[in-house]
Structure 1
Amino acid sequence: MKPASHHLARCRRCSAPIVWCLTSANGKRQPVNAAPDATGNVAVMQGADGLLYVRTVTAARPEIRPGEWQAMPHHATCSAPPPRRSSAPTSRATQGVRPVPWQR
């Protein structure tokens, strides 16, 4: 099953066709490749409200149910991913701080 044409969008970085889905776990938006992929680790389905929902294919629930299609998250395949953010704290120069001796 493929997504409807009104769900299709393009990635801003690589221009690949994607669909925006809501995660079933917490309702956050997630880009997913528009083309079905048998090696993908997510299952996409269209809800009764017309929105696309995505869930992770896990060992506990590996089957693809009727009405779902298997796909790959776009973050895993984007040819121009955003730059990684460093988790290390940055060293800032302390400017404008006047060393003052402690008073008792």
Structure 2
Amino acid sequence: MKPASHHIATCRSCRAPICWALTTAHGKRQPVDAEPTDEGNLAVTQGADGLLYVRSITAARPDVRPGEWRAMPHHATCTAPPPRRSSRTAQRSTTSVRPVPWQR
């Protein structure tokens, strides 16, 4: 099964066709490749509300159910990924002088 054409978008970095789906675990948006593949580790389905939902294929639930298709997360296949953002804030300089005297 393939996603409907109104679900297909384009990756900003590599211009590949992708679909945005909500994770079933936390409801966060995740880009997945629009083209189904047998090597995919995600199962994508269209919900009753018309949105796409994605779940991981695990040892506990390895089979793809009727109405689902296998897909790869686009982060794994993007040919031009954006640079990674650091989770750490910029290092502050600790060698500067206090601008005002201590108050008592």
TM over 0.5: yes
| TM-aligned CA deviation for residue 91 of structure 1 | 2.8
Aligned partners of 1:19 and 1:88: how far apart in 2?
30
Hey, what does 1:31 align to over in structure 2? 31
1:70 correspondence with 2:70: yes
Aligned partners of 1:87 and 1:4: how far apart in 2?
36
Deviates more, 1:74-83 or 1:54-63: 74-83
| TM-aligned CA deviation for residue 86 of structure 1 | 3.5
Coordinate RMSD, CA, aligned: 2.0
Aligned partners of 2:97 and 2:40: how far apart in 1?
53
| TM-aligned CA deviation for residue 82 of structure 1 | 1.7
Hey, what does 1:97 align to over in structure 2? 98
Runs (5+) with no aligned partner, structure 2: none
Q: TM-score, normalised by structure 1?
A: 0.87
**1:1-104, aligned counterparts within 5 Å?**
1-87=1-87, 90-94=90-94, 95=96, 97-98=98-99
Deviates more, 1:17-26 or 1:81-90: 81-90
Please tell me the residue identity of whatever aligns with 2:63: E
Aligned-pair identity in percent equals: 69
Q: TM-score, normalised by structure 2?
A: 0.87
Runs (5+) with no aligned partner, structure 1: none
Alignment length (residue pairs): 103
| TM-aligned CA deviation for residue 90 of structure 1 | 3.9
